Amino acid sequence: MRISDPPDLPVRIWRTTVPGDPDGPVARARVRAESRRPIHPGSPPLRAVSLRYADGTADLVLVAVRSVLPAATLRRIAEGTAAIAALPDWDPRPAPAGGIDWGLGDPRRAGVVAELPVDPAGRGERHVLGAIALAIGRYGGTEWGVLDLTDNAILAYPIEEDRSRSMADFLSRFDESPVTPGEPPAVGVVLSPSFGEGRYLPCLAPVFPLTFQLERGRATCWFDEGLVDPAIARRFCAQITHLAGQPEDRTLSRIELMSAAERAEVLRLGGAGPVPRKEGRIDHAIEQVTARQPDAVALVAGDRRLTYRQLDDLACEVAGGLRSRGIARGSRIGVCLERDADLVSTLLGILKAGCAYVPMDVLYPAERLRFTAEDAGMPLVITTLAEFPSSPGTRVLTPGELREPRGPADRQEPADGGDAAYVIYTSGSTGRPKGVVVPHHNVLALLQATTEEFGLCAADSWTLFHSSAFDFSVWEIWGCLLTGGRLVVLPYWVTRDTEEFHAVLAEQRITVLSQTPSAFAQLVRTDRRARLDLALRLVVLGGEPLDVRMIEPWFARHSPAACRVVNMFGITETTVHVTAQTVTPAEVAAGSRSVGRALPGWSVSIRDELGRLLPPGPAGEIYVGGAGVASHYLGQPELTGQRFLRDDVTGERVYRSGDKGRLRPDGRIDHLGRLDNQVKVRGFRIEPDEIRLVLLAAPGVSAAAVVVHRDDPDDPASSRIDAYVAVSGSAGPAPVFAHARATLPEYMMPSTITPVERIPLTINGKPDIARLPDPRAGSVEPAADPAEESTGIADDVLRIWSEILNTRVTLEDNFFTLGGNSLLVVRVLDQMRERDLPRVSLKQFYGNSTAAQFVKLVSGLTDAG
C-alpha cells in the first residue's frame, strides 16, 4: 500500500530505495517479489518492507502468517487503528487443502503457482459467488462451493441445484449465513477487505487447488499446476464469466455451464464432426479382396486351409442353400457352431444371402439358446449340436445339409449397407438378454478408421480367439478378411490352454492379436518362461478395463517399437471399438487410465445426469456418437429410446453408454468404470440383475442378491460372481446351481451360491453388501474330511487348489463350485509345472474337476510317465 510515513509496528521495518517511477515496471516487479517472499518457521509471523522512491513516496509491503494475523487485522495495523505490543507464536504447519478429482494436474509441476484473471462480466460479488458455486455443482465431487476466508474461518454455502429455481433464487442463498463444512473444499473464495489504495494478496501459494480472490470488482484465480491443469483452470474461469452473465430470471435447468462456442470446441475435442458414412456391405467388400488375391490363404483351422476363392465358394453355397429354402432377405439366421472353418464360411454366406447372423455359443444352456431363437424370430438355425432346443417356426440344419451348389444368381439385389449384418445378444437388467442390431456399414467404418493407423494389410495373420457370440469376434473375423489377412481359427480348448495358445502364436507367426486384459495377463505370464519367438507386431486389448501395470513384464521382453500394444474402449452398441490408446512404458509408469481418443468417424463426450455437456476434467457418463452407433435393440423400442438418443447438442444419434469417464484437455478419455451396477468379468458384460432374476425363479428361493468380488484388486483373474439366496427350509444350494446352469451361460454362472436366512437390506431397501456373510462359508454342502490323511500328489494338489482358491479344499470339493474359473485353472497348471508335476490339459482339468478325480488323473499321468 502507498504510504508517506510507515506506521508504528512491533517488528523491524526493512527499508530499501527503489529507482525509477513508483508505478513503473521496476517498482511493480520489486513489490511483487517482496510480497511473494515466504516467512520461514522460526521468524516472526509479520514482515514489513518499505520501498522508498525518488519522489518521496513509499510502498509498504506487509507479509503475515494468515492464521495469526488475518486480513482485517493487517488493515487496521496499516491504518494505525490497531496496535500490537507483541506478536504471538505461530504453528508452521500448513492448513489442509481440499482434494480435487477433476484438476488433472501434472505432479511434476507441483508447487508451480499460476494466476489467471477472471472477468466478472460486469456483475457484483454475489453474482460471481453464485457463478462459482453453480460451476462447482456442475463439476461435481464436492458438497460445498463458496468459501469466505476473510477471518481465517473456512465457511461454505451448500450448492445443491434445484433446477426449477431461477438464477435470482439461487443467488439469494448468498444473503444467508454460511456454514462450516466437514472437510476442506477443493475450491475456495477469498472475499478481500478494502486496503484503500493497497492490494491484498491472500496467500503465497493457493490455499485450495483453485483459490479465487474477489477484490473491488476484480477477480483472480490462483492454482497449483501440480493439482490443476492450466487448460482446465482457464476453462473454469471462462465458465465463471459465462455463468455470472446469465439473466437472473432464467431457470437453472436452462443455464448451460459453457457458452455455445465453448460447447462446440469441447465437442470437436471429443471427435464430433460430420460423420462420413462408409457405404457398402461386408460381403461385397470381401468379394473385392477375393478378386485381388483369390489364391491367398484366407483361413486356417487345424489341418484345413482355405484360400479366398475357396472361402467365397463355400459362402456362396451357404447363400444358395438359404435362398433355395425360401429364406427371405433381411431374415435373422441363428448360428451355433464350434470355432472352425464352417463357422466363418457360414457367417459370410448368411451375409451374401442378404440376411443377418445371430451368433450363439455352443456352450450356452438350452434355455438361453431357446430364448435367443424365439426372441430373434429365427426361421433357421445352423448348428452341429445334436439337440438344439426346439422353437416354433424355427428349422435346424447343419452346414453340410444347408449348402447348395453355386447357382447363376448368387447375389440378390438391391442390397444396402444399412441392412443389419449381425445381432449380438448382451446381458440385460430386465432378466433377459437384449439383441443389438448392427448394420454392415458400421463394420466397414471401423476398418476405415483403423486400417491405416494400425497398418493392417494382407501380410498380417490374425487369430479368431473369441466366441462368435462376443463382439470381439467381429473385429477379429472381418478385420482380418476385409484387409486381406490370414485368419487362424483357434478351437475352444486352445484358447483356454495358455501354453498351447502361445505355441500356436509362434508356429503360425501371428502378427495381430486381440485379447481381453484378463486373458492377456495369462499370456504374459506364460511368455515370461517360454523360449519361442513371436512375430506379434500389434496387440489390441479391450472388453474390460486395463490395469496398465500388467504390461510391464511384456515390455521387458517385447520392445514397444516392435510390438505395439493398444488399449481400446468399446461397446457392442457402438461396433466393438470407440477409442484407441497406444500403451507405452510411460503410460505404465504413470498408471494411466486413458483409453485414448475417439477413432476417426466416432465421437465421445461426457455428460451429466441431465445429458448436459461437461468440459474436460469432471467425470460423467460417456456418450458415443458417429459411424459406429448401432441401429437399435431388437424388439425393445422403449429401451432403444432410452439409450439411443437424438442429441440436442449436435443433432446426431448418440448412445448413452452407462460408462463413467472424463475428457482430458488433449481429447483423450479416462475410463472410470460403470455408473450402474453392470460389471465386466473376464471381458463379458454382465448385468447382476439378470442373474438375480434367474435365481429368483429357482424352486424355494424367495430372495436373492448377486455380488462381484475380486480377492486381489490388482488381479482380474480373481474376479468371481457370488450369489446369495434366501431358501425355504434347509435346502442347500445344489438345486439352485442346477436351475441356474439350465439358463445362464458359463461366464454368467455364480462361482458360489450361499444360502442365507434373509437378504439384509439398507435403509433404502437395497441389499446391504457389507452384512452378507463370507461367500465361501456356505456356498456348497459341507464336504466330509477324507478318511485318512492325503499324502504325496494328493497333498500337492490340495495345497495348490487351496492357495489359488484362497480356501480350504478337501478331496470331495469341486474346483468350480469353490469359485474357480478358467483363468484360475491356468494358475493351477502353472503351479503344478513349478512343482514338477505332470502336464495336464485344460480339457482334462474340466473333465476331472473334483479334487479326488484330479488327484487320480495326475497320479495316472505320473505312473505313465
Where do the structural domains in the chain lie, given as residue ranges? 2-79, 107-257, 279-295+304-447, 455-592, 601-678, 687-771, 793-864
Q: Is 793-864 assigned to CATH 1.10.1200.10?
A: yes
Q: pLDDT tens digits for 1-40? A: 666 666 677 778 889 999 988 888 998 899 888 888 888 8
* CA separation for the pair 285, 278 (Å, rounded): 11
Can you say how many angstroms the Cα of residue 169 is from the centroid of all Cα atoms in its chain?
38
> In angstroms, rounded to a whole number, what is the distance separating the alpha carbons of residues 99 and 112?
17
Question: Mean pLDDT, to the nearest integer, of 472-480?
Answer: 97
Q: Region 96-123: what's the mean pLDDT? A: 84
The predicted structure's pLDDT at residue 718:
63
With 0-12 / 13-18 / 19 or more C-beta atoms within 10 angstroms meaning exposed / middle / buried, residue 763 is exposed
Average pLDDT over residues 248-263: 91
In percent, the amount of the chain with pLDDT more than 90 equals 43
Q: How many CB atoms lie within 10 A of CB 62?
A: 23
Task: Assess whether pLDDT exceeds 70 at residue 644.
Answer: yes
Per DSSP, the three-state class of 864 is: helix
Residue 787 has pLDDT above 50, yes or no: no
Proportion of the chain above pLDDT 70, given as a percent: 85
Cis before 750? omega within 30: no
Quick one: pLDDT at residue 683? 55
**Packed helices 793-805 and 851-864: angle between N→C axes, nearest 10 degrees:** 130
State the chain's mean pLDDT as an integer. 85
Read out DSSP for 735-780? HHHHHHHTTS-GGGS-SEEEEESS--B-TTSSB-GGGSPPTTTSSS
- 533, pLDDT greater than 80: yes
Q: Please check the confidence at residue 811 and state whether its pLDDT lies above 50.
A: yes
**Which CATH number applies to 107-257?**
3.30.559.30
Q: Would the CA dihedral through 612, 615, 621, 624 be positive or negative?
A: positive
pLDDT for 783: 38
Q: Do 589 and 71 touch, CB atoms closer than 8 A?
A: no
- 692, burial (CB in 10 Å: exposed 0-12, middle 13-18, buried 19+): buried
Q: What is the pLDDT of residues 553-611, one digit of tens each?
A: 999 999 999 999 999 999 999 999 999 999 999 999 988 889 999 999 999 999 998 89
pLDDT for 789: 42
Arithmetic mean of pLDDT, 87-114: 76
Q: Write out pLDDT tens, residues 116-138.
A: 999 988 888 888 888 888 888 88
Contacts of 758 (CB under 8 A, 6+ apart): 703, 726
**Confidence band for 193, pLDDT divided at 50, 70 and 90:** low
Per-residue model confidence as pLDDT tens digits over 278-309: 789 999 999 999 999 999 999 999 999 999 99
pLDDT at residue 390, rounded to an integer: 85
Q: Quick one: pLDDT at residue 581?
A: 97
pLDDT at res. 94: 57
Q: Is the pLDDT of residue 788 over 80?
A: no
Q: Do domains 279-295+304-447 and 455-592 have the same CATH topology?
A: yes
CATH of domain 279-295+304-447: 3.40.50.12780
Q: Which of 79, 50, 84 is nearest to 68 (CA)?
A: 84
* 659, pLDDT greater than 80: yes
**Dist CA 667 CA 595 (whole Å):** 11
Nearest to 221 by CA among 133, 118, 130: 118
> Residue 685: which pLDDT band, with cuts at 50, 70 and 90?
low
Whether the per-residue pLDDT at 413 is higher than 50: the answer is yes
Kindly report which listed range (198-212, 262-276, 640-654, 799-813) carries the lowest average pLDDT score: 198-212
- Which residue type occupies 112? V
pLDDT in tens, 313-339: 999 999 999 999 999 999 999 999 999
pLDDT above 60 for 500: yes
The correct answer on CATH 3.40.190.10 for the domain covering 455-592 is no
Q: Tell me, which fold does domain 601-678 have in CATH?
A: Luciferase; domain 3 (2.30.38)
CATH 3.30.300.30 fits 687-771, yes or no: yes
Q: Is the pLDDT of residue 252 over 70?
A: yes
Residue 760 near residue 728, CB atoms below 8 Å: no
Question: Among 712-726, 773-787, 815-829, which range has the highest average pLDDT?
Answer: 815-829
